[in-house]
Structure formats: structure tokens, C-alpha cells
Amino acid sequence: SRNDATTRIAQVFSGTFAHSTPNAALEILENCMLGVDDEGKIAFIEKDPDVDSLSKIRGFDASEIIKLDKYEFLMPGMVDTHIHASQYSYTGTALDLPLLEWLNTYTFPVEAQYKDLDFANNIYTKVVRRTLKNGTTTACYFATIHTDASLLLGELADKFGQRALVGKVCMDCNSAVPHYKESPDECKAETDRFIIELLKKEYSHVKPVVTPRFAPSCSASLLSELGEIANNNNLHIQSHISENKQEVDIVKKLFQDCKSYTDVYLKHNLLTNKTVMAHGCYLTDEELKIFHERGSAISHCPNSNISICSGILNVRNVLNHKVKLGLGTDVAGGYSPSILDAIRRALDTSKVLTIQDPDHQTLTFEEAFRLATLGGSEALSLDDQIGNFVVGKDFDALRVNVCVPGGPIDLFPGEGPKVILEKFLNLGDDRNITEVYVAGRRVVPFWNT
Ligand code: GUN
Ligand code: FE
């Protein structure tokens, strides 16, 4: 615990806290007290505290402690490591085509409309608010090719208080919608402009991410340019990899001098310790070794993988290769904008692998919980700032109540905090997430509703 006289304690919570650590997928802290300073950082965590002396030492008023009841707990905010904000309008529809047809039929025509900032404002406002309500305190967003609409997404994340990485999408090849792609020069110039303008805003929790859509949409020279921009400015990188078999075959044909799909990104300096690649269903062990060596991450998007019949990621194998891994909704390939859903679909997918091979070691709910929180923070290289309850990290947290009136969960006598968490993960929804905090600021319930 730090004892820093320059920061004031702004909030103190007492009760049960659930989080993950590098050593434990689930650690439950009962009868604990957690203080947040006026910069939104966790100032102390004390188990079985002597409240009188703690409040004197830390300089807070014991009467202002927020006491959680028996059916409540705090958990770290959830991290969506892969979501297309621009596809939110048709979430829950258009799941009848495989990836490449899906992109040309549904996705590119919709994304082309973000030229219109009023159109963008409506949908981007709704996706930021919806994901915050669902407990996504950090989102790694794909926007569209349009710089101004992408800047607007950053502005809205900042306004509503969500931590976000925002990517202006880059694509100069193979779009069936002729007006939905850029020339390579435009793409580079607009990426530069996007990064400069977003950084100029100095948002505390919103940062740009270099975003080649995926190898089939990008020329080799565009990939090189983007690798250079990211590396020269120490920026995050996001893209897609090995989602669907047809896609993997096309990449083999388009990049014949590369040994694998992973090699395409590696050769263009796009695999860094700030890279997150969505899907990875068909990566070989050789490729996973490269991900491990580079410190690059995979975003597991199980709803999308099933919904558009892409593939099944073997999460156990990824974890065995010690590759950083988080969960993604992949809206709108995935039909749910909730990371709680991603937890459930990740567990389902792992159970399918166990049905196929009884020796497969099924993912546990505790492991899925870690992927949704600490794992996501690692995948986005934000684990020095968020992901669990550690003194000095930002307070990104959910206040969960499993007994809200009219809610989806029934509890029975003798059920303790571990069962309460498991029921929330499997049965809960946004009604159970009564408050959401990002860097100590309460962002749900919303300030203007
Ligand atoms: N690969 C390239 N673009 C996309 C996209 O928008 N969604 C998904 N799921 N995969 C992609
Ligand atoms: Fe995606």
C-alpha cells in the first residue's frame, strides 16, 4: 500500500471483491476495504481492516464508506479487445453468410455510410453507451476508413468516460464496394492525420490504434507503411488473422513470398508487444510461437467464430503457448455487444472441443473471468494500468448486485461469493451491473439520464 500525502482519498468501498492475479484465475477478497484517490487510482486495499485507524491514517471519513451488501461485489471492468463500433447498427442480424461474402454484402455498404457524421454520431453514441452499460470499461474499436467519423468515436468514448483504443480502418484492395476503399497515399495521409488529431485532444483514456483491416484488404506497401507509422510512434496495432479457411487460402495466394499468415504481418513489422489480432482460429503451433516471441496478443471472439461459421479457436493451446489472450465481441460478426456473452461462448466453445476430444482440458469459469478482465488488459498491453485490483492501478470496476428486483438470478441459502460470481457470469446481465467506474469516475448510471 502506498502512503502518498499528495493524493486525497476520494472514495472507499467495503465488502467482497473478486479479481484475477497472474497466479490465480480467481481471487475473492472478503471483508475488504478499497480506497480510490482523487486521480482515480487504487490507493489501498486492506483485508479485515480496523476502520477507525485506517480512516485516520488514510484521511477519509468513515461515514462516507460505500458498504456493499451480501449480494454485491466489485470486480474489475471488462475489456472488449475487438469490437467494430461501425457495425453496431446491424448487430443481431445478417449472420447467414461466411466471412468474405458477409463483408461485401453487409459490412462494406454499411461502413461506407460513415462519411456522414450525423449517421456516425447516432450509432457511435449508442455503441459506447450500450457497451458501458454491459460493463465494458475498455474497448478496442475498429471504426471505418473515415478519419472524421473515427475522431468522433474517440470524442464520444471520452465524453461518456470509456477507456478506448480507436482505429481508423485502412484498406486499399479487394473491396467489392468500389467507393469503400482508399488509395494507398490517402490511407497513409489519413492515418497520419487521424493519429495527430486524436493525440492533440489529449484525452486521458482514449488512444489511437493503427488498423490495417486484414491482409486481404491491404497491399504489401500499405502494410509496410502502417508498420512504420506504428513503430515510429510506439502505437498499438490491431487487425484480423486466420479467422476463416477461405481467407487463409486467399492470403497464401496474395502473399506468396510469406511462409504463413503470421509471416505476412511479421514481415511488415506489424507484430509487436502492442499488437492484438482477432480470431486466430487456424494458426499453427509455429505461428503461435511467433506470437509468443513477439509478445503479440490474440483476441478470442467466440460468438463471431460460431455465428458466421468461421472456426473454433483452441484457447487451451493458445494459453499453453503463453500467448497473451483476451476476449472480443467482434460486433457485428458476433451478435452480442456484451463480454458476459463472450465469457459464455468461450466456455461453450471449449466444451465443444472437449466433446470432440475428452482429453481436451476444458476452460473453467474462473479462467474465462480472467480472460475478460486481466487477460484483456494484457492483450492490450494495459496491464500496468488496469485489469485487476492492485494499488497504483486505475480503478476500473463494476459494482455487481445479483439480487436486483426483477433481475435474472435467484440465490438460495448457503451460496457464497464464488457461487454468486459464477451465477453472475452465467446468468447475469446489465441489470446486475448497477455501477460502472473508469479511472474512479462513475460512468454508469449515465450522468445525463
Ligand atoms: N476481417 C476483416 N474485416 C472483418 C470484419 O469486419 N469482421 C470480421 N469478423 N472479420 C473481418
Ligand atoms: Fe472483427
**pLDDT score, position 1:** 45
Whole-angstrom CA distances from 322 to 110, 289, 292, 296 are: 37, 9, 6, 10
Model-wide pTM > 0.90: yes
Between the two ends of the chain, the Cα-to-Cα distance in Å is 36
In whole angstroms, give the CA distance from residue 168 to residue 157.
14
pLDDT (tens digit per residue) in 93-132: 999 999 999 999 999 999 999 999 999 999 999 999 999 9
In the numeric block, which cell numbers belong to residue 131? 457497451
In whole angstroms, give the CA distance from residue 140 to residue 379.
10
For 314-394, list the strands marked E by DSSP.
324-327
**pLDDT score, position 4:** 52
**pLDDT score, position 7:** 82
Which residues of the chain, if any, have pLDDT below 50? Answer: 1
pLDDT (tens digit per residue) in 312-362: 999 999 999 999 999 999 999 999 999 999 999 999 999 999 999 999 999
Residue among 409, 408, 383, 405 at smallest CA distance from 396: 383
The finding on whether 341 has its CB within 6 A of some atom of ligand 1 is: no
From the CA of 104, the nearest ligand is 1
In whole angstroms, give the CA distance from residue 134 to residue 398.
10
The finding on whether 240 has its CB within 6 A of some atom of ligand 1 is: yes
- Tell me which DSSP letter residue 382 carries: -
Among protein residues, the one whose CA lies closest to atom 9 of ligand 1: 333
The finding on whether 95 has its CB within 6 A of some atom of ligand 1 is: no
| CA 182–ligand 2 middle distance (angstroms) | 19
Ligand 1 atom nearest to CA at 111: 6
In the numeric block, which cell numbers belong to residue 371? 480472460
In whole angstroms, give the CA distance from residue 371 to residue 346.
10
From the CA of 141, the nearest ligand is 2
Q: Taking the mean position of all CA atoms in its chain, how far away is CA 420?
A: 24
String of DSSP letters for 392-444: TSB--EEEEETT-TT-S----TT--HHHHHHHHHHH--GGGEEEEEETTEEEE
- 333 close to 308: Cβ distance less than 8 angstroms: yes
Ligand 1 atom nearest to CA at 216: 2
